[in-house]
């Protein structure tokens, strides 16, 4: 292959290094007005009265909007339509928008915010999940399980108590994973216009133009066909630009009313209020093992702080329990998850969505298990690692699995056997593994249509234009499309023109989330390119009188592979085909394979295939200060095939970086204002200076190895890389800290302060540990009992109505209601 697998410059590199990539805020249009949002200063309140008349009369102000102008509720999940673009009568967190001003100048809009008079009636603030469980009223939302409990799930795959009875040892551990945020360097921005024909166009920094398209149609009560969403290249996303946002809807409405372009660009503080970041999760793992480390049963409970809105939360809740079985063989598994509402900015999907927190708990607990059983933690994992083509206890079908090979490589590369438990005090190594989806197996809203589509247009000059809804967020989705099409047609990526992220031009791709673009848009592009190639080959074969199977597409030519001089340029080949068949175009699409998980809740977790990662982290811990430094990380990732190794390495290292930030310093924290002020629950530090993230000085050396065994499900064998490599970093750091100074930090982030507290416990002869000690009582529903495949299960729950269609109930329920 000439393109696939070759490290090369990405197709959009030139635009990026010359500053020509046009991000949303780089769009300036004639007559453009600017929008600012007035946000709630209170974490929880009723809006008694809102008077916008003074603001509307302010010179330079064109328009003031409030909740009554946009009352229709929306949200990313059909089951959580709980947001309003501007709050009508209820604000749920500091930063919830209540009004919008559009003015000739941004400063004027900002100034006029002060002229809006809002009368609030303060409500009791609910600060965390325990308080939410204990405080059924006032309710943050009028829907959910009860009180302030948003979602509760209970699933049991086999008799887990029997599993514990068969175990030689049973381990019980609680862990806490603090919330953190995406912190993309680009602040969210949008520009909306009423186009010359009178329809709506919006450019926005969104990872999911298709879902924004749907939300706009719903809230604005317009036919979707009259709305065009153009996702501008995102200046970093990481999941933070995956929800339809209030500011996007507001500028769309304003542009329609004013008949002029309207722009909004959020301040950094506002980006912290948009959030949708990592959920804080309290976890309890109970795991039974045989003396040789074999797992006999696992019971996981998660308590999730959802913040003020649903967002992706129902999916996040299931994700906290979905992938435990995908890494290691767990024959009996029980999962209970509970998400509560709190008066904080809403949590949502961040890189590794919902699986990161329990991955931390599971990998740290395995380290404890290995120590107790006197087994090397790498060897323990090799004994229990999942294998290719297995079906898990919760009915997820695995494809190619190279977890064991990942473990062996990092063990070898890091000199693990010479280091583990052998380094001097204060110096340690830790190991952890992970698995991640290569694309969600089900769409966010229930439908039977493809998850991704690609059109290719061929022109007489040999030009190839690729149209696809896929959204470039920096991960290289454009390069994936160009690479695949160029490879199939024997061209270079520079020969391919891309039209992506535009709901008018390209067929739907569901968006840049769940590591789905390479496999789904990639397979759609592969199919379209192969179909186009077949049309062209037929015409060329006819001209030369050779069987079309003998034709080869390479070096921008189409030629007889037996007699290479017999051939035409690619452009001539297109002309031959056009003369023979008329205008040439080709289409491709991709729908994931049907899942075996038929039970209610089985819609979250199935994927065409899973990526695997293993990592070893080396640390130095100063026992006098608790100061923790990471000099080196070894990582191996089971990628299937690297379509562009330069970009794949970038995704691995970027994941390591982001994981290290979570491990060491990043936290979305809140505090109460002093009583004499409002006592409001506010974000502790909505700024980049105080929200610590790793700089170039903090980044360790990373040794990356890619394991390439092509996966039959992926285009050219490719699996995901954007999220999986983040997951093992946090637990590997925790395990390395234990190796270095003998204390367990069962909480993320792992800060010097926590290490010092644990060291003090150790010195006092108590349990050398820092972490949560209890898990509150949750009123769990009766578990759906699904016998695992090896107990004769068919993927249905025995105590629920049998289900045959393969799609999650969550979605079906809403559509039928």
Partner 1 sequence: MVSITLPNESQKTAHIRLTLNGEETDVSFAPYKTLLEVLREDLGQTGTKHGCELGECGACAVLLDGKAVLSCLLLAVECDKKGVLTVEGLAADGKLHPLQDAFADLGAAQCGYCTPAILVTAKALLDVNPKPSREEIRTALSGNLCRCTGYQQIFEAVEEAIVRISGTQNG
Tell me how far, at minimum, the Cβ of 208 lies from partner 1, in Å: 16
Which of residues 70, 323, 411, 473 is near partner 1 by CB under 8 A?
473
Nearest CB to partner 1, comparing residues 23 and 171: 23
Of 23 and 620, nearer to partner 1 (C-beta) is 23
Where is 403: in which H helix or E strand? helix 403-413
- Shortest Cβ 417–partner 1 spacing (Å): 26
The correct pick among 97, 144, 233, 715 for binding partner 1 (CB under 8 A) is 233
Name the minimum Å distance from CB 350 to partner 1: 12
Distance in Å, CB of 648 to partner 1, minimum: 9
CB 456 within 8 A of CB 586: yes
In DSSP terms, 287 is beta-bridged to 171, 298
Asked if 647 interacts with partner 1 (CB under 8 A), we say yes
70-76-78 Cα angle (round to 5) = 95
> What is the distance between the alpha carbons of residues 608 and 701, in angstroms, rounded to a whole number?
33
Closest residue by Cα to residue 437 from 526, 336, 517: 517
The one among 3, 4, 5, 12 contacting partner 1 by CB under 8 A: 12
What character string, x for contact with partner 1 (CB under 8 A) and - otherwise, covers 296-335? ----------------------------------------
Say whether residue 277 binds partner 1 (CB under 8 A).
no
Residue 203 CB, nearest approach to partner 1 (Å): 13
Residue 166: count of CB within 10 angstroms of its CB: 14
Q: Is 292 in the site for partner 1 (CB under 8 A)?
A: no
Which residue from 717, 721, 666, 656 is spatially nearest to 690, judged by alpha carbons?
666
**Residue 685 in the binding site for partner 1 (CB under 8 A):** no
Count of alpha carbons within 13 angstroms of residue 762, beta-carbon side: 16
Least CB distance from residue 66 to partner 1, whole Å?
17
Among 31, 48, 71, 117, binds partner 1 (CB under 8 A): 117
How far apart CA 188 and CA 241 sit, in angstroms, is 8
φ and ψ at residue 669, rounded to 5 degrees: -110, 155
| Residue 498 binds partner 1, judged by CB under 8 A | no
Q: How far apart are CA 306 and CA 313, in angstroms?
A: 7
Residue by residue, DSSP assigns 290-302 as -TTS-EEEEEEEE
Give the binding range for partner 1 (CB under 8 A) out of 99-107, 303-311, 355-363, 583-591. 99-107
Taking the complex as a whole, the smallest distance from the CB of residue 269 to partner 1 amounts, in Å, to: 9
693 near partner 1 (CB under 8 A): yes
Q: Give the one residue of 634, 657, 670, 770 binding partner 1; rule: CB under 8 A.
A: 657
Yes or no: say if 296 and 197 are a contact pair by the CB < 8 Å rule: no
β-partners of residue 297 are 288
CA atoms within 13 A on the CB side of 187: 17
Q: How far apart are CA 710 and CA 717, in angstroms?
A: 4
Burial class (CB in 10 A: 0-12, 13-18, 19+), 53: exposed
Q: Is 108 in the site for partner 1 (CB under 8 A)?
A: yes
Exposure string of 747-763, with b = 16+ CB inside 10 Å and e = fewer, is bbbbbeebbbbbbebbe
Q: How far is the CB of 729 from partner 1 (least distance, A)?
A: 11
Among positions 389, 447, 687, 779, the unique one binding partner 1 when judged by CB under 8 A: 687
Give the closest residue to 284 by CA, choosing from 347, 336, 349, 332.
Answer: 336
Q: How far is the CB of 23 from partner 1 (least distance, A)?
A: 7
What is the DSSP secondary structure assignment for residue 677, as one 8-state letter?
T
CB 355 within 8 A of CB 278: no
Rg of the chain over CA atoms, in angstroms? Answer: 27
Which span sits near partner 1 by CB under 8 A: 375-383, 387-395, 686-694, 731-739?
686-694
What number of chain residues touch partner 1 (CB under 8 A)?
Answer: 66
Counting contacts by CB under 8 A, is residue 634 touching partner 1?
no
CA distance 381 to 638: 16
Instruction: Between 26 and 161, name the residue whose CB sits nearer to partner 1.
Output: 26
| 227 DSSP β-pair partners | 200
Rounded to the nearest whole angstrom, what is the least distance from the CB of residue 219 to partner 1 in the complex? 28
Verify binding: residue 60, partner 1, rule CB under 8 A.
Answer: yes
> Could you tell me which stretch among 104-112, 206-214, 335-343, 407-415 binds partner 1 (CB under 8 A)?
104-112
The minimum distance between CB 236 and partner 1, in angstroms, equals: 5
| 18 contributes a contact to partner 1 by CB under 8 A | yes
x-marked contacts with partner 1 along 702-721 as a string, rule CB under 8 A:
x-------------------
CA distance 538 to 533: 9
Contacts of partner 1 in 164-223 (CB under 8 A): 182-187
Report the C-alpha gap between 580 and 598 in whole angstroms. 48
Asked whether the beta carbons of 452 and 466 are under 8 A apart, the reply is no
CB-nearer residue toward partner 1: 108 or 201: 108
Residues of the shown chain interacting with partner 1 in the complex, contacts defined by CB under 8 A: 9-10, 12-23, 25-26, 28, 60, 104-108, 110-111, 114-115, 117, 182-187, 233-238, 267-268, 473-476, 646-647, 649-650, 653-658, 687-689, 693, 695-697, 699, 701-702
């Amino acid at each position: 292959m000439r393109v696939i697998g070759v490290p090369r410059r990405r197709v959009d590199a030139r635009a990026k290094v010359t500053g020509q990539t046009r991000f949303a805020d780089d769009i300036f249009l004639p007559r453009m007005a600017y929008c600012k949002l007035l946000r709630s200063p209170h974490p929880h309140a009723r809006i008694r009265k809102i008077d916008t008349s003074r603001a509307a009369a302010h010179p330079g102000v064109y328009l003031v909007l409030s909740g009554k102008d946009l009352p229709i509720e929306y949200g990313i999940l059909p089951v959580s339509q709980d947001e309003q673009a501007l709050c009508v009568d209820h604000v749920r967190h500091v930063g919830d928008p209540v009004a919008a001003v559009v003015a000739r100048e941004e400063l004027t809009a900002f100034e006029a915010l002060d002229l809006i008079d809002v009368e609030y009636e303060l409500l009791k603030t609910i600060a965390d999940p325990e308080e939410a469980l204990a405080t059924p009223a006032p309710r943050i939302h009028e829907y959910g399980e009860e009180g302030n409990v948003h979602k509760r799930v209970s699933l049991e795959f086999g008799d887990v108590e029997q599993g514990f009875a068969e175990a030689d040892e049973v381990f019980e551990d609680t862990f806490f994973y603090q919330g953190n945020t995406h912190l993309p360097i680009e602040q969210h921005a949008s520009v909306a216009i009423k186009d010359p024909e009178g329809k709506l166009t919006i450019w926005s920094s969104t990872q999911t133009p298709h879902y924004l398209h749907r939300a706009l149609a719903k809230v604005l009560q317009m036919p979707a066909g009259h709305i065009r969403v153009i996702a501008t290249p995102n200046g970093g996303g990481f999941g933070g630009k995956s929800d339809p946002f209030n500011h996007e809807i507001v500028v769309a409405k304003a542009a329609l009313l004013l008949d002029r372009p309207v722009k909004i660009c959020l301040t950094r503080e506002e980006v912290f209020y948009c959030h949708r970041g990592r959920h804080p999760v309290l976890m309890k793992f109970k795991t039974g093992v045989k003396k040789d480390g074999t797992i006999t049963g696992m019971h996981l409970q998660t308590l999730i702080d959802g913040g003020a809105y649903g967002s992706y939360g129902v999916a996040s809740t299931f994700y906290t329990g979905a992938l435990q079985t995908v890494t290691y063989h767990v024959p009996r598994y029980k999962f209970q998850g509970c998400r509560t509402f709190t008066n904080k900015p809403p949590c949502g999907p961040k890189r590794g969505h919902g699986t990161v927190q329990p991955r931390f708990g599971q990998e740290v607990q395995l380290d404890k298990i290995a120590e107790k059983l006197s087994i090397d933690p790498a060897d323990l994992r090799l004994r229990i690692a999942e294998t290719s083509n297995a079906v898990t206890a919760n009915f997820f079908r695995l494809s190619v699995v190279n977890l064991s090979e990942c473990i062996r490589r990092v063990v070898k590369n890091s000199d693990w056997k010479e280091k583990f438990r052998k380094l001097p005090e204060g110096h340690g190594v830790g190991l952890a593994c992970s698995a991640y989806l290569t694309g969600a197996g089900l769409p966010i809203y229930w439908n039977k249509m493809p998850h991704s589509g690609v059109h290719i247009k061929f022109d007489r000059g040999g030009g190839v234009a690729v149209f696809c809804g896929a959204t470039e967020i920096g991960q290289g989705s454009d390069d994936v499309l160009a690479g695949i099409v160029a490879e199939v047609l024997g061209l270079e990526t520079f020969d391919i023109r891309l039209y992506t992220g535009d709901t008018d031009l390209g067929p739907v791709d569901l968006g840049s989330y769940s590591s789905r673009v390479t496999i789904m848009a990639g397979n759609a592009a592969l199919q379209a390119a192969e179909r186009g190639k077949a049309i062209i080959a037929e015409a060329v074969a006819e001209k030369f009188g050779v069987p079309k199977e003998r034709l080869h597409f390479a070096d921008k030519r189409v030629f007889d592979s037996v007699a290479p001089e017999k051939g035409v340029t690619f452009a001539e080949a297109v002309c031959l085909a056009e003369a023979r068949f008329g205008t040439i175009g080709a289409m491709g699409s991709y729908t994931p394979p049907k899942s075996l998980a038929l039970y209610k809740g089985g819609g979250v977790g199935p994927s065409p295939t899973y990526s695997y990662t293993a990592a070893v982290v080396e640390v130095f811990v100063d026992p006098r200060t608790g100061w923790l430094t990471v000099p080196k990380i070894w990582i191996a990732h089971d990628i299937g095939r690297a379509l562009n190794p330069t970009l794949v390495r970038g995704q691995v290292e970027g994941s390591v970086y982001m994981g290290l930030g979570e491990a060491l310093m990043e936290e979305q924290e809140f505090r109460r204002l002093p009583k004499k002020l409002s006592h409001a629950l506010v974000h502790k530090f909505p700024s980049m200076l105080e929200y610590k993230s790793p700089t170039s000085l903090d980044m360790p050396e990373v040794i990356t190895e890619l394991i390439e065994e092509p996966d039959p499900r992926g285009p050219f064998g490719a699996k995901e890389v954007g999220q999986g490599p983040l997951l093992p970093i946090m637990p590997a750091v925790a395990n390395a800290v234990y190796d270095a100074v003998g204390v367990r930090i069962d909480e993320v982030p792992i800060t010097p302060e926590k290490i010092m507290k644990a060291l003090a416990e150790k010195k006092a002869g108590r349990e050398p540990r820092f972490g949560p000690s209890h898990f509150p009582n949750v009123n769990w529903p009766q578990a759906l009992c699904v016998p695992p495949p090896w107990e004769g299960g068919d993927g249905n729950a025995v105590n629920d109505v049998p289900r045959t269609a393969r799609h999650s109930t969550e979605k079906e329920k809403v559509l039928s209601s």
